[in-house]
Amino acid sequence: MLANISKPLIMGILNITPDSFSDGGQYSDVQRAVQHAQRMLAEGADIIDIGGESTRPGSEAVNAEQQLERVLPVIIAIRQQVSRDVLISIDTTLSTVAQAALLAGANIINDVSGGQDDPLILSVAAQYNVPMILMHSQGKPKTMQDNPHYDDVVAEVYALLQQRINAALNVGIKADNIIIDPGIGFGKRKQDNLQLLAHLQTFVDSGYPVLLGTSRKRFMGSICQLSEPHELVTATAVTTALGVMAGIKLFRVHDVKENRQAVDVAWAIKQAIKQ
């Protein structure tokens, strides 16, 4: 499904949560969520990423039942009202949520814990033969920003992702169904995020498609002296363009139109370099 990605893909964020850091509570109503999905697709999204649990710093965990109450009606409605072909990813760390979402029409599992919170989620991905996004995070969302520390953030993040890749392969997930994500902002200081962004090539060189999720992240606000997430659209698009040049294949964003433009222009420049 996502094997052999050529031109990078845009994953539009659809948070069905009351407390996400940037858009919490905006799409709790099913029809508003569907309309937002339609808008993102019209603006150039290739995948809609649906989550029922905020993973912002300081957030509380949400149980499987509540996540399912939030996400299943939206997945079903998108399939019925929008398209049976649009790619939908389920943003969860729980195997029961992932399985139910796949049965309802999702195509991809996006796990910010990389299969560490609930190892059975890897078996679900293997059973249903779907792409699995393995993200790096240090600690749980509630406490991950309390005191993160690395001696060599690039090497340590890469090593942990390699462990998660091996775990995925060991339960039967096919290599061409594995996508990795360095987890910008998940248990990282500003300097850690900048180091990861400066060395994206390290992750690209793994041979697995890499997803980048910088959208509206706080560390960019500290650089730009801006405090509101929605003010960081341009900053996000800059990282998207840099990511394209480094070989990133997927970008998870709130602002699809602007990041689609960043991908398209950066991709055109990258193709010109090869000529």
Which CATH number characterizes residue 38's domain?
3.20.20.20
Percentage of residues of the chain with pLDDT beyond 70: 92
Confidence of residue 21 (pLDDT cuts 50, 70, 90): very low
Residues with Cβ < 8 Å from 34, sequence gap 6 or more? 74, 77, 78, 81, 82
140 is catalytic: no
Indicate the number of domains in the chain: 1
Residue 160 has pLDDT above 90, yes or no: yes
Encoded tokens for 44: 């150039």
Residue 121 domain flag: yes
Residue type, position 8, single letter? P
In this predicted structure, what is the pLDDT of residue 54?
Answer: 78
Residue type, position 153, single letter? V
Residue 252 has pLDDT above 80, yes or no: yes
Residue 4 domain flag: no
The distance of Cα 236 from the centroid of its chain, to the nearest Å, equals: 14
Give the pLDDT confidence of 211-238 residue by residue, as tens digits: 999 999 999 999 999 989 999 999 999 9
In this predicted structure, what is the pLDDT of residue 60?
Answer: 74
Residue 197 domain flag: yes
Q: Which of 217, 218, 249, 260 is catalytic?
A: 217
Which residues form the domain of 15?
A: 9-274
Residue 25 has pLDDT above 70, yes or no: no
Residue 2 domain flag: no
Confidence of residue 48 (pLDDT cuts 50, 70, 90): very high
Residue 270 has pLDDT above 90, yes or no: yes
Crossing angle between the packed helical segments 95-104 and 64-81, to the nearest 10 degrees? 20
Three-class secondary structure of residue 56 per DSSP: coil
CB neighbours of residue 33 within 10 Å: 24
CB neighbours of residue 105 within 10 Å: 17
Nearest alpha carbon to residue 92 among 71, 74, 75:
71
Residues 150, 199: contact at Cβ < 8 Å?
no
Give the pLDDT confidence of 60-91 residue by residue, as tens digits: 788 999 999 999 999 999 999 998 899 999 99
C-alpha distances in angstroms, 60 versus 11, 20, 57, 146? 24, 11, 9, 14
Q: What is the CA radius of gyration of the chain?
A: 17
Residues 202, 212: contact at Cβ < 8 Å?
no
Percentages helix, strand, coil for the chain, rounded to the nearest 5?
A: 45, 15, 40
Residue 143 domain flag: yes
Residue 41 has pLDDT above 50, yes or no: yes
Percentage of residues of the chain with pLDDT beyond 90: 83
- Global confidence as pTM: 0.93
In this predicted structure, what is the pLDDT of residue 24?
Answer: 47
Confidence of residue 141 (pLDDT cuts 50, 70, 90): low
Encoded tokens for 67: 């996540």
217 is catalytic: yes
Residue 49 domain flag: yes
